[in-house]
Amino acid sequence: MLFNPERYHVDPHEVEGIELQVHKSKASLILHRMHPSEIKPGKGRENWDVGGIVAYSKICTHVGCPISLNERTTHHLLCPCHQSTFDLTDSGRVVFGPAGRPLPQLPLEVDEQGYLVAQSDFTEPVGPSYWERDYDEPW
Amino acid sequence: MSLGDRPDMSKVAKSNAGEPAVPPSRGSQRAGAVANWADERLGLGTMLKKNLRKVFPDHWSFMLGEIALWSFVVLLLTGVFLTLWYDPSMTEVQYAGSYDPLRGVHMSSAFASTLDISFDVRGGLLLRQMHHWAAHIFIAAMMIHLLRVYFTGAFRKPRELNWVIGCLLLLLGTIEGFTGYSLPDDLLSGTGVRAADGFVKATPVVGTYMSFFMFGGEFPGDAIIPRLYIAHVLLLPGLLLALIAAHMLLLVYHKHTQWPGPGRTEQNVVGYPLLPVYAAKAGGFFFIVFGACALLGGLFSINNVWKLGPYDPSKVTAGSQPDWYMGWPDGLLRIIPPWETHIWGVTLSWNIMLPILVMPPLMITILALLPFIEQWVTGDKREHHLLQRPRNAPTRTAIMVALMTFYGLSWAAGGNDIIAIKMDLSINQITYFMRAAIFVGPVIAFMITKRWCISLQRQDKEKLLHGYETGVLVRSPAGGYAEKHLPIDEHQAYALTARDRDEVYVPEEDDLDGVSPRGRRLARLRAKLSAMFFADNVQKPTAAEVEESRAHAEHELHELEHQIATGPNKHGPSSDH
């Protein structure tokens, strides 16, 4: 989206300078490919991958570092700041470290032109926790 | 010269009236005129007369605080230089300086000017590195100075408030350090600011509002660098300077503490006068600290911001670490279990609040309260100007060692990724170990330190009562061996005995009759703590005990000498041959 503004009708000033930084700190993505049989899809997430390609928010749910250390064989993602480890085969579940919530997953599909696109926005807020995070959740 | 002799006074002038032997030179006349001019307007004479002869006691450990002071001066000097070139702006520019690998890269003006300081300003990199090294030294020196003050009991009345000021200086110095290393806006420091945003957002109720206020909108915005800059160059240094001034004024007002020794009492200060000795020593020491910073800045590179490039919220590097003094809360942040509560539509992030929002303020509060807690337990309201050896306050020493152990383990946890890589260990196991160690470690450290101190006290008592070991072994006629002990010299004995006897507080049941239940509980708690503080301590021997042991030692010595004289193993060449 960010680097192809015309296609998505994004205002060009949105993709430079501070606006770009603000977007990057929320919209950064990890695209990860594994064998489709390795994915343990969560409830309602059965069709969120495309042939083993999954997309997760890159922003850690602990304090917001971009997670970037990929353990290739286990498909675990480790945050270099405080070592929270997320399992990308299992809905971004936290398998180790201080992060309290799984990584938000972006549902993927292929559009009619063959591009990999998102089915929708993230279904939950990305990044670190905050007080009002669950305001919209029924409780 | 024996005491009875009178010194020869015949050559000493009876009076200094009349003309001086040599008329004052033109230069000194002029100097006198200037001094008089200034004195009549500023009243310098009285002030200087009083203060130039002010006495400071001498001990190597008293210069630790001086290192902090002088490194702060180095920070001011180098910092002023950096402000001439640094541009605190988040405006995006394309780098066009002389560092080739980053030319053409889009970055904030702050980062570009930091690169200019490093590569294009003459002496810029040296000054920048000196500034950063001096910051490390500043905070390290404050901490070590704090330990010295604590371990020697220099925080006791009347210096409790100066202790509190010192704690505030440590806190402000740490924040000043954080704002400073965030300014280059490089990848590492930007990641630190990002984490700080996470901390702010984790604050209950007002977190998101505070974050939006801080960043002037959504993270990262374009306001944070100018704001950090103003805090770093104006607000915090102003507060630091004011507190340092208060710290020094109180030091002058209270007078410096001194180690006990012959001639040193609670009423006097024995040492060198400010002018010329102490001023020269302290002034010279500034140049040593400056030189050390210059050497470090010139020889050891620090914070090579160009290696990682400008801040990009989607990038981070492995081995990300804050500056060392931020390491301990970061360590707690790493080892805390993933505790988060989602209840009634709100989120409580214990995994951030406990290590960052609770622990550092709690630790500083504990630190600031230590003098007052000890005073309450001991009930000691007297003034103290003589220092104590750490061993003579075993529980106090043990408390600080426990705190240091907690600090050290938390700090090590902040490097768990580095430890895992360098020592080829599992990061998971290090983390699980640390989770237990930060609780168990301080307790073990407390117990070991306390017993260690008491053993040292016992050894001191031994030395006083039985003298020191001479290393001379004597064989008795019966064939047994004994080591000759000799009494320690009087100065040493004085220093060893120059301390108070500890008294355990025992509340009298009668006294508690009219006391409220709460007061009674407090008195019992105080009694328990007092017993913990003092019950196991070894007290110094009484004068009678020392006398007795001296007589005993003399007797023993005679006996040994007699044995040597009459025994079969006479030393020296035998005359029988």
In this predicted complex, what is the ipTM?
0.91
Closest-CA distance, A58 to chain B, in angstroms, reads 7
Cβ-Cβ contacts under 8 Å, B187 against chain A = none
Cβ-Cβ contacts under 8 Å, A132 against chain B = 208, 346-347
Q: Give which of B104, B241, B102 is closest to B184, Cα–Cα.
A: B102
Closest-CA distance, B209 to chain A, in angstroms, reads 10
* Mutation target among B311, B317, B351, B359 for the A interface, most CBs of A within 10 A: B351
* Mutation target among A130, A135, A139 for the B interface, most CBs of B within 10 A: A130
Per-residue pLDDT tens listing for chain B (577 residues): 344 455 565 655 566 555 556 777 888 889 889 988 888 888 888 888 888 888 889 899 999 999 999 999 999 999 999 999 999 999 999 999 999 999 999 999 999 999 999 999 999 999 999 999 999 999 999 999 999 999 999 999 999 999 999 999 999 999 999 999 999 999 999 999 999 999 999 999 999 999 999 999 999 999 999 999 999 999 999 999 999 999 999 999 999 999 998 888 899 999 888 888 888 999 999 999 999 999 999 999 999 999 999 999 999 888 888 899 999 999 999 999 999 888 888 899 999 999 999 999 999 999 999 999 999 998 888 999 999 999 999 999 999 999 999 999 999 999 999 999 999 999 999 999 999 999 999 999 999 999 999 999 999 998 888 888 888 887 777 888 888 888 888 888 888 888 888 888 888 776 667 778 888 888 888 889 998 888 889 998 888 888 888 888 788 778 777 777 776 555 544 444 4
In B186-223, which residue ranges form alpha helices assigned H by DSSP? Answer: 187-201, 207-215
Cβ-Cβ contacts under 8 Å, B195 against chain A = 63-65, 81
Closest-CA distance, A18 to chain B, in angstroms, reads 6
Question: Residue B131 in 3-state DSSP?
Answer: helix
Tens-digit pLDDT profile for residues A49-78: 999 999 999 999 999 999 988 988 999 999
A52 in reach of chain B (CB within 8 A):
no
The span from the CA of A130 to the CA of A134, in Å, is 9
Closest-CA distance, A47 to chain B, in angstroms, reads 27
A66 in reach of chain B (CB within 8 A):
yes
The span from the CA of B71 to the CA of B59, in Å, is 20
Say if the Cβ atoms of B194 and A64 lie within 8 Å.
Answer: yes
Cβ-Cβ contacts under 8 Å, A94 against chain B = 338
Asked about A62 being catalytic, the answer comes back as yes
Count Cα atoms within 13 angstroms, Cβ side, for B503.
6
The domains located in chain B, with CATH, are 72-381 (1.20.810.10), 394-461 (no CATH), 467-502+538-577 (no CATH), 508-536 (no CATH)
Phi-psi region for residue B303, left (φ > 0), alpha (ψ -120 to 50) or beta? left
At A29, which helix (H) or strand (E)? strand A29-33
Q: Give the pLDDT score at B478.
A: 81
Question: Which of A18, A80, A101 lies closest to B222 in CB terms?
Answer: A18
Asked about A82 being catalytic, the answer comes back as yes
Question: Which of A66, A131, A139 lies closest to B313 in CB terms?
Answer: A66
A1 in reach of chain B (CB within 8 A):
no
Q: Give the pLDDT score at B13.
A: 57
Say if the Cβ atoms of B347 and A68 lie within 8 Å.
Answer: no
Closest-CA distance, A19 to chain B, in angstroms, reads 8
Residues in contact with B211: Cβ distance below 8 Å, sequence separation at least 6, in sequence order: A130, B197, B200, B201, B219
Say if the Cβ atoms of A63 and B339 lie within 8 Å.
Answer: no
The span from the CA of B523 to the CA of B379, in Å, is 11
* Mutation target among B349, B416, B434 for the A interface, most CBs of A within 10 A: B349
* Mutation target among B347, B354, B426 for the A interface, most CBs of A within 10 A: B347
Cβ-Cβ contacts under 8 Å, B92 against chain A = 16-18
Contact criterion met (CB below 8 Å) for B232 and B225: no
The span from the CA of B63 to the CA of B282, in Å, is 8
The span from the CA of B280 to the CA of B274, in Å, is 8
The span from the CA of B335 to the CA of B562, in Å, is 68
At B525, which helix (H) or strand (E)? helix B517-534
Q: Give the pLDDT score at B368.
A: 97
A62 in reach of chain B (CB within 8 A):
yes
